[in-house]
Structure 1
Amino acid sequence: MAFAALDTSQNARNLVDCLKDKGIVAIGRYYTRKRTNSKILTLDEARRLSNAGIRIWPVYQNRHREQVDFSSVTGKAEAEDALDYARNVINQPTGSAIYFSADFDASQAIFSNAIRPHFEAIAAAFAAAGNPYRIGVYSSGAVCKALLDAGLVQLTWLSQSSGFRGTPEFKASRRWNILQALPVSGFCEFDDDVDPDEINNDNGDFGAFLLQAAQPMAAFAAAPAAAAAGLLFSDIAAAAHPEFPGTLAFRGTPLHRGEVGSNDVKALQTRLNELGFGPLVVDGDFGEATQNAVLHFQARNASSDGRPLPIDGEVGEITWAALFGPGAVFSTQAFDAKASMRDLVIDIAASQIGVVEQPHGSNRGPEVDVYIRTTGLNPANDSYPWCVCFLYWVFDQAAKIKGKENPLPKTAGVVSLWNLGRHTEAEVVRKSEANAQTVKPGMIFFLDLGGGKGHAGLVIDVVGDHLVTIEGNTNPGGSSDGYGVFRREARPITTGVLLGYLDFCDI
């Protein structure tokens, strides 16, 4: 039988060439709490698959074949473990999916008493982390339908076991995203059977991912010392092409054949060379060779959400995001230009919740690089704390929608923005004046953490004597040295380290 996707419990790192030759475009692999388990997806394997353009969808499974394997306590622990492995080991891109297994024919009673509380806890843990990933389930038709109807999962992977409750009906409904078939033997020299899978073309987004910064094997060969030293792909790219390091923001209009002398085309040519779709002369001229390289890239890659790229030879926002990472593209079309600056700032900040560094602790990543670059810094030059960069970017997008200049002074420093901002027309609320009446949504809070360090974030609500905020370079626990954009629920309005608040929204 011919198939283009499969799932396996075996490491596929040494079988990538065979998978490509057989036309495999996606593979299901495992996350699990047992780090020594041989069936677990490794970072090296994920990189090799991504370099080959083979998308990955992970499933978290520790047996999960009996009622005793499910509870709210277990669900919370496994969700947190899956999130940790996805973020801090694999560097899984945000917006993709993690599936969780319920691999047996569960009765309605077992579903109600065990599986549903288990997935409610998973959903709560993901929400507390800012929903960086979508939640999927691998199970029977009855369980898939019930969890989907309850809004506890966004994606479903239907088990091959056609005798399970509700499976024929759910299969016929075509609400599944992945449909598993019976195993086959002797495929690509796997030691054990593999399971073919069908991707639902009606619901073509099934949450699979490619590691956007996967290092091409050719680049490793060209830079063995850098690879041995553990440098990031973006570091190697920056060293080779200092004019275009890191991630570049999409300009808003497609790049196409006939453009000449364009810095955006130079960046495109550089990136295509880095990814092995050259060699191209980096001259800024979008000619036939560049167009052919774009077509080749589009034919062999997918968008960050797993959809096929348009094969048109032009570089619109979808192809740009596939090349440079999803953070390089931000569409203002979803926001109402008639809204107030205050509402736009809050809405744009909220749209970024769940963005995380890639890898964790690096002060880098597709979206993070864009935030940093907006303030005029080169993210490849140093490890920059980016909480103020995030705020500057948010206000910059809102200002563009309103057709005005960014009201924030262009700086990446917390204390610097506090000092510069107080000499603008921004409303100032000092620490001694801060209370539930003077602090309002849209303001920026400033903390002085000593030693020249600080932290800042956006107020989106005031509840009693506490704030609801959206902050960059933080974590769900609220530390200043964090790794993502998160919503915080309980910052006190005033603390000993508070400098005060600035309101730039009405300038």
Structure 2
Amino acid sequence: MAFVALDTNQTSTRMVPCMRAQGITAIGRYYTRNRSNPKILKPDEARALSAAGIRIWPVYQIRHRLRADFSAIKGKQEAEDALDYAQHVIGQPAGSAIYFSADFDATEADVSIAIRPHFEAIAAAFERAGRPYRIGVYSSGAVCRTLLDAGLVQLTWLSQSTGFRGTAQFNASRRWNILQGMPVRHFCNFDDDVDPDQLNLELPDFGGFLLGQAAQPQAVADAVAPAMAPAADAAPAELDFPAAPSFPGQPLHRGQFGSASVKAVQNRLNELRFGPLVVDGDFGEGTQNAVFHFQARNSTPNGQPLQITGEVDAATWAALFGPGAVFNSADFDRNASIRQLVIDIAASQIGVVEQPRGSNRGPEVDVYIRTAGLDPTTDSFPWCVCFLYWVFNQAAKIKGIENPLPKTAGVIALWTLARRTDAQIVHKSEVSAQTVKPGMIFALDLGGGKGHAGLVIEVSGDNIVTIEGNTNPGGSSDGFGVFRRDARPLSNSVLLGYLDFCEP
């Protein structure tokens, strides 16, 4: 695949000679609030790229994957930080551009409530600063078109996510300045994938710069519409299945009628093939017999036999829906760091096993899978990343923050999506006992789109101690439970690297 532009979250200095030899003329790199983040463009890298004639277009990103990441206040803060870094650290020439990301499939409500006020604040901050740079957006077609039509941005970079709202139409309109392609591997010895990009020859000015050279911006596309209309082929909202219902606080028993909790139990018993039951919320003889049957054949999350009472107490509820359903945050220290919380919460799940083994199902496993946005009744899903997402989700709830992990069930997808978050990424070539620390996630690429991931809880010499889901005591990537592994090598031939979603 031939291309002349690319974007990456990796420092590119040592790859400059290769990129130049391969005909690369432009590169997208990151600005972000955390100046120690390894993905950020540094002055020495900017100088090396400029000396080679490779133009740079920077994108400012602090996660930017949820509506909550956008507001007028955050827009003002991010604009001021981007201006400071561009002017006083990089020395970015006036007249070039800084892009700001909105890296998710935003709805019309997301745009009107959060994204548009965010970019209005960015535009106002640039205006107060004397318009030293033009403003670009990296996002879906719908967001690019809306902000361009509103005059809040002058340049657009269309995301590679072709299923996002309005992307097909905006691509066809040719109003984009940069079009992102799907990742490619092993380019110029980058440790990770890079994204090839297409520069629009009809709008050749994309805001890139070379240090020491004045920018000479050309005209950009005129606005053609005042507001965003829902795209005719807008992708449907992602089907999101709720996590397990919470235990109602008191046992359920025969004789209760019209109970939402009883309905949840009846649904669950049907899913686990202890029915068929009519899901009507009435706890009658049929429901009681199904509960008897379930209790006789199952155990508590910690492996103890269930009491066969015919009532659904907390232990039976946890066996039905998994420990997440009766997860007690009081068992964990709210003042602990999120790094410590994820380790403690993961440790609390050691011993969870599939029911039956080899099924990718079970009360707890189903909770992990549902929390990651999948329905375990529709297919057999590998769940190592689902387990990690659930662990971080519980820790985030305790801390009162958004889950820092991208919502995905795939290892390769997690690795790819992490590049667009604030996660600290330790690539394979950077791995050592000094760069890897507890709370990080290791990621393995097993080929064919398959992978395996787990949580580091200790670094010991050339080995790591881990807690992993969908494994077994021997370390299988397709095992049957949650286990602690005491001697996984720090690096191996299939390692992608380590991801740190925890606070420093």
- TM-score (structure 1 length as normaliser): 0.45
Query: Greater CA radius of gyration, 1 or 2?
Result: 2
- TM-score (structure 2 length as normaliser): 0.45
